[in-house]
Homo-oligomer: A and B are copies of this chain.
């Protein structure tokens, strides 16, 4: 079931970009925003040694982190100005080895309640097999997450 959402305020794209830029951990691993729409956000991460584990794969922990971030920003697009979201909990299934050159996490809100927002997130990897040029990205992880509305902490907006 796909739902259409109204953005929380007209400047939601800038709000997401500003929040993303403030997170040192995301810069450290090389993540970037790929698309921002009401209730739907994609985050991309090119492969590098910083995000890999011993077999040349994206680390499962990185996969989870980027998935959680994509879901959280999908939720943030629906918030009024001055309201942030916090991750309350999430669940992730790691479905396949995350072998490839570009990881993309796309979060979609499935319920925006008064205090909690629930999202599902798909994480795909492209460029995994050189012989498979043009092949579609492969689903490597699936998340389901809950975010909580939160007043902005003083001094961080």
Q: Which residues of A contact B (CB under 8 A)?
A: 1, 3, 19, 22-25, 28, 49-55, 59-62, 64-66, 68-69, 86-96, 110-111, 113, 115-116, 118, 120, 122, 124, 139, 142-144, 146, 148, 153, 156
Chain B residue with Cβ nearest A116: B88
Q: For residue A89, which residues in chain B have a CB less than 8 angstroms away from its CB?
A: 89, 91-94, 118, 146
Q: Are A92 and B90 in contact (CB under 8 A)?
A: yes
CA A113 – CA B86 in complex, angstroms? 14
Q: Which residues of B contact A116 (CB under 8 A)?
A: 88, 148
Give the oligomeric copy count. 4
B115 and A148 within 8 A (CB) = yes
Q: Is the interface of A mostly helix, strand, loop or mixed?
A: mixed
**Min distance, Cβ A123 to any Cβ of chain B, angstroms:** 11
Query: In this complex, what residue of B is CB-closest to A23?
Result: B53
For residue A52, which residues in chain B have a CB less than 8 angstroms away from its CB? 24-25
Given A68-B64, A110-B95, A144-B93, A120–B118 Cβ distance below 8 Å?
no
Q: Are B91 and A90 in contact (CB under 8 A)?
A: yes
Identify 29 residue pairs between A and B in the complex whose beta-carbon atoms are under 8 Å apart, listed by A's number: A1-B122, A3-B139, A22-B53, A22-B54, A23-B54, A24-B53, A25-B52, A25-B61, A25-B62, A28-B50, A60-B86, A61-B64, A61-B68, A61-B69, A62-B65, A64-B64, A65-B65, A88-B93, A88-B94, A89-B89, A89-B146, A91-B91, A95-B113, A96-B113, A110-B139, A111-B142, A115-B148, A142-B144, A146-B146
